[in-house]
Structure 1
Amino acid sequence: MSKHPGDMRSSEVLAPGTRVGAWRVVEPLGQGGQGTVYRVEDVHHPGDFYALKLALYARDGRAEREVALMMGRAVHPHVVGFHGCARWPHPRDGRLGVVMDWVPGQALDVWAESGAPTFRQFAALAATVARTLGELHVRGVFHRDLKPEHIQVRASDGQPVLLDFGVGWYSGAAPLTTTPLPPVTLSVLSPEAVSFLWRSPRRPSAPYAFQPTDDLYALGVCLYRATTGHYPFPEWWPPDVLQSAIVHVRPQAPRSVNPRVPRALSDLIVRLLEKDPRARFPRGEVLDEALRAAVREGAPEWDVPLFAWEADERSIVRPPRPRPSYSSAPPVAAPPAPRRQGLRLALLSAVVVGALVPVICLAPVSLTVPAPEEEWMSDVKLDPVAAPSEQAPLPVRNQKLAPCTEGLEVELSGGCWLSVVKQRPPDCPRQTVPYKGQCLLPVPKSRPIPTSVDGGAPAAP
């Protein structure tokens, strides 16, 4: 993408008082991979405040698709409301700004840890999110990047509001990238999406077709994080290890991490995280009813807070992750004979995963999107230096996303990378990724504002 006079460096933030169309900037709320969010005031109605998400670049197709979604199919009481558009600095050629509801409140995981809700209240909120997703899916709308910070619990009434449809999609929308997957968060990707990514070098022109079960898997990740204080698999793991765990490893049940979690709720979350999408809840409406039925049991365990509190300091006592324990060694699939590196890679996978997280390894399952062939599965880039695959690396957390600086940065998988000129595989330095004879260093995303507000809500006090 060529540079445009209205394009903005990620480190630049509009100053308070800046006029953007009919709105005046009050304060920056945060910056994400696609834009910066501000609290703004309606110039013609002083005292009316909204959130303005201003794209970082002019002619950003993702921002235009988000507007199309929010104006039409994604209109819903539990989806952040749309109020208008503006361009800056030029009203015709400037960067697109989306004006939305300003939703004071807390992200789902923050609310769960600091608001002291009971499991009954939590289940009711989760059921509302499930029903909302189901209604969006019927309209052909998929969020595709559902994570705890995109589920805002509104302070005024405690209701959930879905935020940030920046990578959302609706039936009939034209693809905006040539990559197999959009620039989404790896830790909320479903096993079948990761499996498709492994196969993508053989079908580079075929984008992944998201299904309702993908969004519901991501919701399971959100509920796991909220009820345990942990993600099913740490998001800071190297992408290769995280991908392998998502496809092959069963996380501990939430009740094993936080004994306060009711067994019925724990079982529902485990089902959402099943490797085979056919074993999950097929639709949001089905999950909604299952949650409500579980709560109707009326057991006292539903009426206690999610976490214990210290009596004096009112600080959270977050349950620790249990230590790894195996009744036997995790199974390791034998690689085919032609792949001499396969056994070493499989063993490395078992050792790394076994050392880092308490999990149960699974036998391969038949996915709706077929899993890679065995010879391909043995090269899941667990040892990037030795793996013969030329699969482009996925962006890491807090990495700058495309568009990249022309002539300086390399765009791969929707992320921006720098080529380390003086070194080549297999002598790539740490923090770099080998790819097609280069050592690539992820370009960090500039974050001048320490909060993470993709949806336009202020940081919790």
Structure 2
Amino acid sequence: MSQDLPTEVLGEASPGSSDDLHTLAPGQPFGPYTIEQAIGRGGMGEVYRARQQTPVNRVVALKLLQQRLRGTLAETLFQVESQALARLRHPFIAQVYDAGSLEGQPYLAMEWVEGLPMSEWISRRRPNRRQRLALVAEVARGAHHAHANGILHRDLKPDNVMVVSEQGREQPKIIDFGVAVAWLAERHDEGTPPRSLVERVGTPTYMSPEQRGGRADLDPRSDVYSLGVMLLQMLLGDELEPWPTLDSQRCAALLRQGSWTQPEDPEGLQLQLRLRSLPDELRWLLARALAEDRQARYESALNLALDLERFLDQRPLEAAPESRLYPLRKFLQRNRLPAALAGLTILALVGGLAVALYGLRQAQTERANAIAAAEQARVEAARAERVSDFVRSILGAVDPDVARELDKTLLRKVLDEAAERARTELADDPAVLGSIEAVIGRTYRNLGEPARALPLLERARDQGELRSVVDMRILSMAYDDLGRTDEAMATLDGFRAQLVPEQGEQGIDVLQLDAERLEYL
């Protein structure tokens, strides 16, 4: 789709305006430009797709001011806009090539953007959450560049962000700064447009509270709020509604609550469930960007971009509440191998002890119930003893103090040998074998070895040894790590179907599975 400039660029169309508009036909020259197609018309002017002949051969978006507005405040605003936008040089902002007047006709020549509006890109491409967050971070960096040059956009929304393909990657282009130059105009001694004219710029859904209230002292935090609304829509979209229409003020109010209280209306309840499905860190981030009081928002669009990038890199967020454990948790997420080495020993100890105690308890109960169950009790006790012996033999091969210094290659060798021994020594007891393979499979996955983890986890599942949401989540993540997203989804869906008859649609495990499922949309 080619660049689509909405009427906010041009002003609302007015009756009779076409009579005094300098209309150009396809093929007609205009200075160094040749008109190819009329794109849009409004009360302030007209936009064309045109081709520049000299000194560079390229396609441009040519914006002309309506003749009847010459000599008015609108022309002053147009000139200030041209001067302001010409200062911007950023890969995520549509560039202004040329501005001036030909035969008394003011014009502005801008980069022609071939791409899709952000909302349409989301609907068509269905990017994953990581791609969506990275895109908003880039938009925020582009907005920060404009702010650093004294320009507020005032109308950041999906239609004003195009997603284009450049040098093999998709990236955003902010377009249509329109007449959003009040902040800059206040710094000019001459040609300053009145606030009443520029304050009408904006789209209510994406306006900050201070912009909706008509405040004159807007600053970059107003654009930060608009970015927050777009981020909210990106994160809460689903397959049926990739770009949902949301009450941003209601969402912001729910995010500001210290604890979740059930809304009385169905729409509010559904909105709350969607917000609760997001990770805590993204809720913190959204609450900061959408704060009612701008003093509580991110100080700049760059700060928002940096927090998004921190989330993607698993680093602590600026928006996070104060906590001593939170930075430690993020450190462990970034350093999985050392944590897995320590966790392997603990996991084996706890797992072996739990299985042994469970088997012993079962044996005692069965013996007490009836003589006929004595044989079964003996089998359970023997099974627990075999598991305990097996786990002890594995732990005996690795000194816990030494394990911290082992590299991944040695740990993989230990696990490979453990898996082979389990298949050989426990082949006559599939249930015990499944339990052991589940432990080893989870450890492989935590070490970033999904290809080794998956066969073990699948066999454990087939033996009925994966029984919890956490177990199924690990199995689905192993599928996803290997690019088998459909099987990851099927794993969660199948387990959900088992839980619904027991817990209902609002059961805590069912809601947790629904939240996990959103990760693959």
TM-score (norm. length: structure 1) = 0.52
Give the distance between the partners of 2:210 and 2:198, measured in 1 at CA. Answer: 12
Tell me the amino acid that sits aligned with residue 91 of structure 2.
P
Structure 2 match to 1:209: 217
RMSD value over aligned CA atoms?
A: 3.7
Change in Cα spacing, 1:15 to 1:191, as seen in structure 2 (3 Å) is same
Q: 1:114 to 1:32 in 2, by over 3 A?
A: farther
Matched, 1:116 2:126: yes
Distance 1:292 1:123, change over 3 A: same
Q: Structure 1 residues 45 and 192 mapped into 2: Cα distance closer, same or farther (>3 Å)?
A: closer
How far off its partner does 1:58 sit? Answer: 2.8
Q: 1:147 to 1:283 in 2, by over 3 A?
A: same
Is residue 27–residue 40 contact of structure 1 (8 Å, CA) maintained in 2?
A: yes
Equivalent residue letter for 1:77: P
Tell whether 2:171 aligns with 1:163.
no
Q: Secondary structure at the match of 2:212?
A: helix
Q: 1:262 to 1:119 in 2, by over 3 A?
A: farther
Greater relative CO (CA pairs within 8 A, separation 6+): 1
- Residue 47 of structure 2: SS of its match in structure 1? strand
Q: Which residue of 2 aligns with 1:285?
A: 302
- The CA distance in 2 between the partners of 1:262 and 1:110, in whole Å, is 25
Cross-structure match for 1:361: none
Q: Is 1:83 aligned with 2:97?
A: yes
Tell me, yes or no, if structure 1 residue 70 matches structure 2 residue 85. Answer: yes
Per the TM alignment, residue 138 of structure 1 is displaced from its structure 2 partner at its CA by: 2.8
CA drift at 1:67:
0.8
Kindly report which structure 2 residues correspond to 1:193-208, keeping only aligned pairs within 5 A, or say none.
193-196=211-214, 208=216
**Distance in structure 2 (CA, Å) of the matches to 1:159 and 1:256:** 31
Query: Which ranges of structure 1 fall in alignment gaps of 5 or more residues?
Result: 1-6, 198-207, 235-244, 309-461
Q: Does residue 1:273 correspond to 2:287, yes or no?
A: no
1:62 Cα shift? 2.3
Residue number among 147, 163, 177 corresponding to 1:137 in the alignment: 147
Contact 2:180 2:201 in 1 (8 A): no
Q: Tell me the residue number matched to 1:150.
A: 160
The structure with more helix, counted as a fraction of residues: 2
Distance 1:213 1:154 in 2: 26
| Distance in 1 separating the partners of 2:64 and 2:250 | 33
1:93 correspondence with 2:111: no
Do the aligned partners of 1:255 and 1:263 also contact (CA within 8 Å) in 2?
no
Q: Which of 213, 217, 221 in structure 1 is aligned with 2:229?
A: 221
Give the number of aligned pairs.
276
In the TM superposition, residue 76 of structure 1 has moved relative to its aligned partner by 2.3
- Gapped regions of structure 2 (runs ≥ 5): 1-16, 238-242, 256-267, 315-332, 335-476, 487-521
- Are 1:24 and 1:41, in contact at CA under 8 Å, matched by a contact in 2? yes
Q: Contact 2:223–2:301 at 8 Å: present in 1 too?
A: no
Summarize the alignment of residues 28-427 of structure 1 with structure 2, pairs less than 5 Å apart: 28-32=38-42, 34-44=44-54, 48-56=58-66, 57-59=69-71, 60-72=75-87, 74-85=88-99, 87=101, 91-94=102-105, 96-156=106-166, 157-169=169-181, 170=184, 172-173=187-188, 175-179=192-196, 182-185=199-202, 186-196=204-214, 208-227=216-235, 228=237, 229-233=243-247, 256-257=273-274, 262-297=279-314
Q: Is the 8 A contact 1:154 1:160 kept in 2?
A: yes
- Aligned mates of 2:142, 2:272 — CA distance in 1: 26
Cα 1:49/1:270, change in 2 over 3 Å: same
- State the identity %: 26
**Higher CA-based Rg:** 2
In 2, Cα distance between equivalents of 1:177 and 1:21: 32
Quote how far apart the aligned CAs of 1:68 are.
0.4
8 A Cα contact 1:167 1:183, kept in partner:
no
In 2: Cα distance, 1:247 partner to 1:33 partner: 35
TM-score by length of 2: 0.46
Whether contact under 8 Å (1:142, 1:168) holds in the other structure is yes
Contact 1:28 1:38 in 2 (8 A): yes
- Other structure's SS at 2:246 match: coil
Q: CA deviation at 1:86?
A: 5.2
1:92, CA displacement in angstroms?
A: 3.4
| Contact 1:274/1:280 (8 A) holds in 2 | yes
1:294-335 alpha-carbon deviations (Å, 9 max, x no partner): 11238969x89xxx9xxxxxxxxxxxxxxxxxxxxxxxxxxx
CA distance in 2, matches of 1:167, 1:256: 39
CA distance in 2, matches of 1:288, 1:145: 18
1:142 and 1:212 in contact (8 A); partners too: yes
What SS does the aligned partner of 2:94 have?
A: coil
Q: Residue 212 and residue 10 in structure 1: after superposition, are their counterparts in 2 closer, same or farther (change >3 A)?
A: farther
- Structure 1 residue 250: deviation in Å? 5.2
Aligned residues of 1:127 and 1:288 also touching (Cα < 8 A)? yes
2:60, 2:94 → 1: CA distance? Answer: 11
Instruction: Give CA-to-partner distance per residue, 1:148-182, whole Å, 9 cap, x none.
Output: 11111113331111111222222614541352852
The answer on whether the counterparts of 1:81 and 1:101 sit within 8 Å (CA) in structure 2 is yes
Instruction: Give me the whole-angstrom Cα distance separating, in 1, the residues matched to 2:208 and 2:35.
Output: 38
8 A contact 1:255–1:262 mirrored in 2: no
- State the alpha-carbon separation in 2 of the partners of residues 138 and 193 from structure 1: 20
Residue type at the aligned position of 1:92: E
Aligned counterparts of 1:262 and 1:30: Cα–Cα separation in 2: 42
Secondary structure of the residue aligned to 1:142 is coil
Preserved CA contact (<8 Å) 1:188 1:221: yes
- Kindly indicate whether the alpha-carbon contact (under 8 Å) linking 1:40 and 1:52 is maintained by their aligned counterparts in 2: yes
Shift of 1:260: 7.2
Change (3 A) 1:279 1:14: same
